[in-house]
Amino acid sequence: MTKAKSAAKAAAKPAAKRAPAKKAASDGVEIRPLAASDEKALLSFARSLPPHDLLFLPRDISEPKVLKAWIRESEGGGMMSLVAAEGDTIVGCGAIAHDPLSWSPHVGELRVLLGPAARGKGVGRRLTQRLFALALEAGLQRIVAQMTVDQTAAISVFEGLGFRAEAMLRGHVKDRAGKRHDIVILGHEVADVLARLEAFGVVEATSR
Ligand SMILES: CC(C)(COP(=O)(O)OP(=O)(O)OC[C@H]1O[C@@H](n2cnc3c(N)ncnc32)[C@H](O)[C@@H]1OP(=O)(O)O)[C@@H](O)C(=O)NCCC(=O)NCCS
């Protein structure tokens, strides 16, 4: 196991504390990198979602143009993207957005999204952990995530990984009906956690 993967595992809730039924329910779901051939399935997935669940994203991925640009960026290595698939059906997706040419080359934004039918089975947590590990492997020192304040499941997953609420942006996004919603920004100083895990020998122990 790589250092990053074991750190993500160690930073997350211990597997023993999770219900076995939840693990079994998520077993048929494969988490893998996003491919160009996923475009059609990903569009149907995005269009099946409640519009409110898309509000944390900077752009509407149920628009084919936006989706194409995301796939292009992922293929070019500009974005690390994963999908959760059950056979040919996409049930979730996620990405780490990061701009090495900006003044925040050490920061990545983690985004994760699951279809309502696939929720509550542990898939969201698995997907988030995999993305977290990718961010660590890429050497990012800080990870942020943003969501509407009512996304309690998302906040719980992120807090379980060590994220803490850092800011609130009032009325920051507008839904299709023109209603404004607050956004919470969670942050994680990865470097601090890695150092602490190493100091206690946790990274070494979980790599074995
Ligand atoms: C965040 C999200 C991916 C979680 O997916 P999920 O598969 O349902 O999550 P899991 O089944 O792995 O559950 C993870 C934790 O969330 C919590 N949780 C799940 N559903 C919850 C709910 N409705 N209310 C409160 N907490 C909930 C549980 O504490 C669970 O932890 P547990 O293992 O102790 O039971 C999913 O809710 C989602 O796509 N939300 C909308 C998009 C969004 O806001 N994304 C975040 C922006 S980055």
Taking only the tens place, the pLDDT of each residue in 106-159 is 999 999 999 999 999 999 999 999 999 999 999 999 999 999 999 998 999 899
Query: Measured in angstroms, how far is the CA atom of residue 153 from the centroid of ligand 1?
Result: 3
Q: What is the pLDDT of residue 49?
A: 96
Q: What is the pLDDT of residue 15?
A: 41
Query: Measured in angstroms, how far is the CA atom of residue 124 from the centroid of ligand 1?
Result: 6
Q: Which stretches in the chain have pLDDT values below 50?
A: 13-18, 205-208
Ligand 1 pocket residue status of 5, Cβ below 6 Å: no
The structure's pTM equals: 0.85
Q: Residue written as tokens 């059609």? A: 40
Length of the chain: 208
Q: Which two tokens stand for residue 24?
A: 């079994």
Q: How far apart are CA 52 and CA 196, in angstroms?
A: 37
CA angle 40, 151, 77 (to 5 degrees): 45
**Is beta strand 79-86 parallel, antiparallel or unpaired with respect to 142-148?**
unpaired
What are the sequence ranges of the domains in the chain? 3-207
Query: What fold does the segment set 3-207 form as a domain?
Result: Aminopeptidase (3.40.630)
Q: What is the pLDDT of residue 102?
A: 94
> How is 5-48 classified by DSSP, letter by letter?
HHHHHHHS--GGGS-HHHHHHHTT-EEEE--GGGHHHHHHHHHH
3-class SS of residue 119: coil
3-class SS of residue 81: strand
Q: What is the pLDDT of residue 22?
A: 59
Ligand 1 pocket residue status of 20, Cβ below 6 Å: no
Q: What is the pLDDT of residue 164?
A: 95
Ligand 1 pocket residue status of 12, Cβ below 6 Å: no
Q: What is the pLDDT of residue 202?
A: 57
Q: How far apart are CA 154 and CA 165, in angstroms?
A: 12
Ligand 1 pocket residue status of 152, Cβ below 6 Å: yes
Q: What is the pLDDT of residue 13?
A: 47
